[in-house]
Amino acid sequence: DAGVIQSPRHEVTEMGQEVTLRCKPISGHDYLFWYRQTMMRGLELLIYFNNNVPIDDSGMPEDRFSAKMPNASFSTLKIQPSEPRDSAVYFCASRKGPNTGELFFGEGSRLTVL
Amino acid sequence: GEDVEQSLFLSVREGDSSVINCTYTDSSSTYLYWYKQEPGAGLQLLTYIFSNMDMKQDQRLTVLLNKKDKHLSLRIADTQTGDSAIYFCAETLPGSGNTGKLIFGQGTTLQVKP
């Protein structure tokens, strides 16, 4: 089975540009999570979805960040406009069921905002 | 608070045992987890323990849980160079009910010297 697929793996952009990160969860998984990893703050939960519906977006840092899940096999995380402090590795993870514990992570999208 | 705390770095020699420690916040967490992150990759579930257990052993891995002190540890026996990675402790976020929203520690970088 293919795992969680994220794209792009690496993105370098200039401050003020729009960034869109993409995620395809594992087929059949009904929970999808977006995390951000930085040296300073570690791994932070940004938002998660259940059956394509956003459940908790309290971790989204600012209005510049938005996430969508138009269907069960695709989610996007958008940053507009991007800033240098958004530079991080963004992970998407999915899971089947509410509390089975194992999150399956993608390989991450490394974002650098100049 | 919601902090899960870990020491940041551990260095051991190949063949020795490694012990990675973690303190968590919510005594009502039902599951506690250890994830492993290799360079350039996402996190992978190593093992987990249910809160009514004190110990769980899985090949070279031993997880110890002290609920009274809210302390979790991961012992790796006969540590190999391939065990070099970042190890994350995680607990279910307090109040998340059945969603199983995970909060991760900062991660402990394990360095294994030949």
B43 and B88 Cβ atoms separated by less than 8 Å: yes
Q: Which of B92, B86, B107 lies closest to B33 in space, CA to CA?
A: B92
The token pair that represents A45 in the structure block: 């939960």
- If you count DSSP H runs as helices and E runs as strands, how many of each does chain A have, helices first? 0, 11
Question: Contact B103/A108, CB-based, under 8 Å?
Answer: no
Alpha-carbon distances of B9 from A19, B60, B72, B102, rounded to whole Å: 33, 20, 16, 22
Residue B92 has pLDDT above 80, yes or no: no
* Cβ within 8 Å of B, A 23-82: 31, 33, 35, 42-43, 45, 48, 50, 55-56
B37 and B85 Cβ atoms separated by less than 8 Å: yes
A47 and A57 Cβ atoms separated by less than 8 Å: yes
pLDDT value for B1: 45
B112 and B81 Cβ atoms separated by less than 8 Å: yes
Residue B98 has pLDDT above 90, yes or no: no
Q: Which of A45, A100, A106 sits opposite B42 (nearest CB)?
A: A106
Chain B residue with the nearest C-alpha to that of A10 = B40
CB-based contact (8 Å) between B103 and chain A? yes
pLDDT value for B46: 93
Each residue's pLDDT, cut to its tens digit, for chain A (114 residues) gives 689 999 999 999 999 999 999 999 999 999 999 999 998 888 999 999 999 999 989 999 889 999 999 999 999 999 999 999 999 999 999 998 766 668 899 999 999 999
Neighbours of A114 (CB within 10 A): 10
Angle at B14 between CA B13 and CA B15, to 5 degrees: 110
How far apart are the C-alpha atoms of A10 and B107, rounded to whole Å? 22
Q: Which of B41, B102, B107 sits opposite A103 (nearest CB)?
A: B102
The token pair that represents A77 in the structure block: 């995380």
B/e letters for A7-20, b = 16+ CB within 10 Å, e = fewer, are eeeebebeeeeebe
Which residues of chain B lie closer than 8 angstroms to A48, CB-CB? 99, 101
Q: Which of A35, A101, A106 sits opposite B100 (nearest CB)?
A: A101
How far apart are the C-alpha atoms of A103 and A63, rounded to whole Å? 27
Tell me the one-letter amino acid at A105: F
